[in-house]
């Protein structure tokens, strides 16, 4: 991304002309507001950057509650370049978690507006969005179904850390630790949340730990994600192993049920 001062003057002038042609007969009123109303200018800029998207009342309230732990539609457009069609925006208009639930999770979870992107999609986007290496160099999962699955649009409330005391346990033992309101998400959701949250805030999730996800690879081994270490240039890792093994560096991921 470039600051406007770094964009060639010819490009700025051409864009400026197209904008005012589109404004048409309302140009005088719009110009007056731009020159006198800072909030109006900020709103125009936000809409242009976010592809014309306007947050719903539900989303605005949610953003106030979740603070930095909110990766909404604006963030998905900015950092992942998602295609925010009218149908997808309509589906995401209402956040499916109560105010009470959001307040109880505002420090422990990230609320994510998920768009149909696969792990492979996110890995490709991350290479263009950051000068840092965000994914460890691996190709074992390139042809795996779980890595190519784009999933569905929706909201996910993902825990920022593994379930407490879930390391050194088998998969079945870890599942027993989840509350009735929780479930283990897919690797796609964990990767989307981890990378998106980092691009938006600079905070690393699962920095020195792995978390098991619900996916199985083509050989029936459980997929786990993590070790997104700031001091390891390798980046986020996606691995796989048997459910019956216990390791002190593998916990289990969790998300709130809707």
Query: pLDDT tens digits, residue range 161-174?
Result: 999 999 999 999 99
d(CA 12, CA 71): 30
d(CA 141, CA 147): 6
How many C-beta neighbours within 10 Å does residue 224 have? 27
pLDDT at residue 101 tops 70: yes
* Residue 71 confidence (pLDDT): 98
* Residue 181 confidence (pLDDT): 98
* Residue 200 confidence (pLDDT): 95
DSSP secondary-structure letter at 236?
B
Instruction: Work out the end-to-end distance of the chain between its first and last CA atoms, rounded to an integer number of angstroms.
Output: 36
Highest average pLDDT, of 51-65, 111-125, 232-246, comes from 111-125
C-alpha Rg value of the chain to the nearest Å:
21
* Residue 41 confidence (pLDDT): 65
* Residue 52 confidence (pLDDT): 59
pLDDT at residue 20 tops 60: yes
What residues form DSSP beta bridges with 240? Answer: 223
Q: Determine the Cα angle at 59 with ends 49 and 197, to 5°.
A: 65
Q: Choose among 46, 107, 69: nearest CA to 196.
A: 69
Q: Choose among 114, 98, 95, 198: nearest CA to 152.
A: 114
Could you tell me the pTM of the whole model? 0.82
DSSP, collapsed to helix, strand or coil, labels residue 9 as: helix
Q: List the alpha helices (DSSP H) in 139-257.
A: 145-148, 171-175, 187-201
Q: Which two tokens stand for residue 142?
A: 């390139």
Higher pLDDT, 201 or 229: 201
Burial of 14 (0-12, 13-18, 19+ CB in 10 A): exposed
Q: Are 236 and 191 in contact (CB under 8 A)?
A: yes
Q: Are 23 and 30 in contact (CB under 8 A)?
A: yes
Mean residue pLDDT of the chain comes to 91
Out of 33-37, 80-84, 190-194, 249-253, which region has the weakest mean confidence (pLDDT)? 33-37
Q: Are 73 and 66 in contact (CB under 8 A)?
A: no
Higher pLDDT, 52 or 179: 179
Q: Are 73 and 53 in contact (CB under 8 A)?
A: yes
């Amino acid at each position: 991304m470039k600051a406007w001062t770094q964009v060639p003057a010819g490009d700025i002038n051409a864009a400026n002309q197209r904008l005012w042609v589109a404004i048409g007969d309302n140009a005088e009123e719009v110009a007056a507001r731009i020159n006198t109303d800072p909030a109006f200018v900020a709103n125009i800029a936000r809409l242009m950057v976010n592809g014309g998207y306007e947050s719903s009342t539900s989303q605005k309230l949610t953003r106030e509650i979740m603070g930095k732990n909110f990766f909404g539609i604006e963030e998905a457009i900015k950092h992942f370049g998602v295609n925010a069609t009218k149908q997808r925006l309509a589906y995401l208009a209402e956040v499916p978690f109560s105010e009470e639930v959001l307040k109880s999770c505002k420090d422990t979870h990230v609320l994510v507006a998920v768009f149909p992107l696969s792990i492979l999609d996110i890995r490709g986007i991350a290479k263009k969005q950051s000068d840092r290496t965000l994914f460890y160099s691996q190709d074992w999962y390139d042809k795996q179904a779980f890595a190519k699955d784009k999933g569905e649009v929706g909201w996910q409330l993902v825990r920022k850390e593994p379930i407490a005391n879930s390391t050194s346990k088998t998969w079945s033992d870890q599942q027993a630790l989840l509350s009735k309101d929780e479930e283990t998400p897919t690797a796609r959701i964990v990767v989307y949340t981890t990378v998106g949250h980092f691009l938006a805030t600079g905070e690393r999730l699962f920095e020195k730990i792995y978390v098991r996800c619900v996916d199985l690879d083509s050989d029936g081994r459980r997929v786990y994600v993590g070790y997104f270490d700031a001091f390891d240039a390798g980046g986020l890792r996606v691995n796989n192993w048997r459910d019956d093994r216990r390791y002190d560096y593998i916990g289990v991921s969790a998300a709130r049920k809707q």
